[in-house]
Amino acid sequence: MDIINGLEPASFWKHFYNLTRIPRESGNEAGVRKYAADFAEAQGLEYKIDAIGNILIRRPAAPGRENSPSVVLQGHMDMVCEKNRDKVHDFAKDPIALVIEDGWLKADGTTLGADNGVAVAAGLAVLEADESFGQVEVLLTVDEETGLTGAMELDPAIVESRILINLDSEEDGVVYVGCAGGKNTEGYLPVAFDAIPAGYKAYSIELKGLHGGHSGGEIHIGYGNALTLGSRFLWKAAEKFDTRIAFLEGGGKHNAIPREFFATVFVKDADADAFQAYADEFATVIKSELGMIEPELSFNVAAGESPAAIGQAESVYSAQTQKRILDLVYSTPHGVIKMSRVIDDLVETSTNLARIELLKDGKGVEGSNTSGKTEFFVLNCHRSSVDSECDDIADRVRAMISAAGGRHEFKHDYPGWDPNPESEILKTARKAYSALFGNEPEIKAIHAGLECGVIGKKFDSIDMVSFGPELADVHTPGEKMKIDSVEKTWKLLVEILRIV
């Protein structure tokens, strides 16, 4: 705990540090929920847990503030658990190792969990603050990162407030008033296998070092997608040589731009030199294309199976299966589909080719199916501020999966949040920000998905804004939080609650 000594506000940092000791991958929020419930009991505060596992803690109004409107502070308990393949860390039991570097708090080789440990820590800190607030509720939801499940299944009866402050934003000095909706498209391709042919040489292919990033907040930057690049190499290699793929995997969570790609490919002995020369040429090409934005890009093709594929390369995909997989993955779109014509610099519609893997007996690292079949899995995440455009890009990907002989499932469909320029809580946030810092906050909508859109549909009327400290590289092992922006966010939150 020494690493946070002296950081302000002390209460926030105490809770944030404690959260880094508790496993909280999506679907495994029991430890955080118990931490919050134990806190409420120790403070003598009422709390409720709904059927899906969301927890709401209520602090009554201070004397003289009984007529002030009730405000609910909201965020999610789970975090995206991402690390590079060579990092030894078990998110189910290992604490997050913290590092301070150049004014930023980060983790050692894993995601930090500031998304959205910020909301949990800030909410609990407000509940124990020595301040005269009106009634404050803190709503902490489950499973936001995989599909906003907690918000979708929220029992609205546990919430009394009709003013909501979401604390799941990542830009200092910005107040958000709208967000995109989205859905995922899962593709499942049937597979067949052949014996490894005689007279072929094995090559391991590893593409690593890409930046990755949040598939909503950073999709417009143009970072490389490891799956797009890796499939590009293999698709062209299959055209040039008689290649046979034994192992193929890459990417991670649906909301993270893929950073890594791995494959094991068998090539005829007679083509070995030409294949290696093609690989070297490809490495030069993609580094030339992406070097300015992806300086750590590493593309390595070497004789011999990769460590990741040992024990998995006992056979190769049939020629027909291989063609279907490569045609699908290589042709699947990734990136910005359309920019908004209404709001400057806002992505309106995007899609993220997020994960590929073989599901053995229906189970994989990220994918799963209920059939128990061994299938090849392709995961895509789509976002848009316009529902019809989100449906359109999902249908385009669905059509591609169908053309490849596969089946699809749509998952985690959630609505967007329409901006309300006349919002009273927005006016209050502007007033508080101006009083504290002497200038106006930037007012934005965000392409990422926030729970505000889902929660807003649960009530006849609820007034909402979202803000938070400066975060960078979320959903990647480089995730970090700017330390001085935390105190600034805290001051804004406290001032709003004072004057609302």
Where in the sequence numbering do the catalytic residues fall?
78, 144
* Residue found by looking up tokens 């540090």 in the block: 17
Please provide residue 412's backbone torsions phi and psi, each rounded to the nearest 5 degrees: 55, 45
Return d(Cα 289, Cα 51) in angstroms, integer: 50
Bridging pattern class, strands 163-166 and 407-414: unpaired
Return d(Cα 151, Cα 446) in angstroms, integer: 18
Closest to 339 measured CA to CA, from 351, 328, 347: 347
Please provide residue 407's backbone torsions phi and psi, each rounded to the nearest 5 degrees: -120, 165
Apex 103 CA angle, 102 and 104, nearest 5: 95
Q: Distances in Å between the alpha carbon of 313 and those of 84, 246, 267, 310, 481?
A: 22, 5, 14, 6, 41
Answer yes or no: are the C-beta atoms of 261 and 227 closer than 8 Å. yes
Torsion of CA 109, 111, 112, 113, to 10 degrees: -160
* Residue found by looking up tokens 């030199």 in the block: 273
Return d(Cα 500, Cα 490) in angstroms, integer: 15
DSSP label of 115: H
Q: Distances in Å between the alpha carbon of 82 and those of 267, 286, 353, 438?
A: 32, 25, 16, 38
Query: With the C-alpha atoms ordered 30, 31, 37, 41, is the resulting torsion angle positive or negative?
Result: positive
Tokens of 378: 């392709």
Answer yes or no: are the C-beta atoms of 214 and 479 closer than 8 Å. no
Closest to 337 measured CA to CA, from 180, 499, 116: 180
CB under 8 A, 24+ apart: contacts of 236-239: 236/278, 236/282, 237/265, 237/275, 237/278, 237/279, 238/322, 238/323, 238/326
Closest to 379 measured CA to CA, from 236, 258, 201: 258
Return d(Cα 233, Cα 286) in angstroms, integer: 10
